[in-house]
């Protein structure tokens, strides 16, 4: 694999991580705002809400580089959404559930199971919405990874 492609891939990973961080900051500050309000500090609650909005802007800026508008169609949006939800329901949550069980965290086991089911429902709903696109191609994460490895091999050859 040449360096140009390697650094491109690393930046793609970094964008993914930065997007995750900014997205988490957004939801975390909304949660903190709710708690601060319940604790009677309206001023701090509003500070968290204002900052949460700015974090959404930061997250969107990363998304625009990860998924440029020129590459997107409604069909592609639905495909990306289904891929993400299926990754959660088939790969991420089952693994997290297994580890939570090993560690005896029953609350986390229950939550991971519940959210795996909700991710499946989201995937089904998006697939339903995509029915009008005949060529809807569903690439599950595992398949996508295998395909990427094949491409990498070709490029290094
Ligand atoms: Fe930020
Ligand atoms: Fe979901």
18 and 82 co-located in one domain: no
Q: Which domain holds residue 91?
A: 72-157
Ranges of H-type helices in 67-140: 74-87, 93-102, 106-129
> 100-146 pLDDT, tens per residue?
999 999 999 999 999 999 999 999 999 999 888 866 665 554 555 55
| CATH number where 59 lies | 1.20.1260.10
79 and 154 co-located in one domain: yes
pTM of the model: 0.76
118 and 149 co-located in one domain: yes
Rounded-to-integer distance, Cα 19 and Cα 141, Å: 19
Q: Which residues surround ligand 2, an ion (CB under 5 A)?
A: 119, 122
6 and 49 co-located in one domain: yes
Ligand that comes closest to the CA of residue 93:
2
State in Å: Cα 108 to ligand 1 middle. 28
Under the banding of pLDDT at 50, 70 and 90, the label for residue 61 is very high
Domain count, the chain: 2
State in Å: Cα 91 to ligand 2 middle. 14
**Closest alpha carbon to 141 in 71, 68, 92:** 92
Rounded-to-integer distance, Cα 6 and Cα 105, Å: 39
State in Å: Cα 33 to ligand 1 middle. 16
């Amino acid at each position: 694999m040449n360096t140009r492609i390697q650094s491109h891939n690393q930046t793609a990973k970094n964008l993914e991580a930065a997007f995750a961080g900014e997205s988490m900051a957004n939801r975390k500050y909304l949660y903190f705002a709710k708690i601060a309000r319940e604790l009677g500090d309206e001023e701090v609650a509003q500070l968290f809400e204002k900052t949460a909005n700015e974090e959404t802007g930061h997250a969107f800026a990363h998304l625009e580089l990860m998924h440029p508008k020129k590459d997107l169609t409604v069909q592609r949006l639905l495909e990306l959404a289904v891929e993400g939800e299926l990754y959660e329901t088939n790969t991420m949550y089952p693994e997290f559930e297994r580890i939570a069980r090993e560690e005896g965290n029953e609350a986390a086991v229950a939550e991971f199971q519940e959210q795996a089911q909700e991710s499946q429902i989201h995937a089904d709903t998006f697939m339903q919405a995509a029915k009008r696109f005949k060529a809807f191609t569903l690439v599950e994460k595992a398949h996508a990874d295998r395909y990427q490895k094949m491409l990498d091999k070709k490029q290094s050859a």
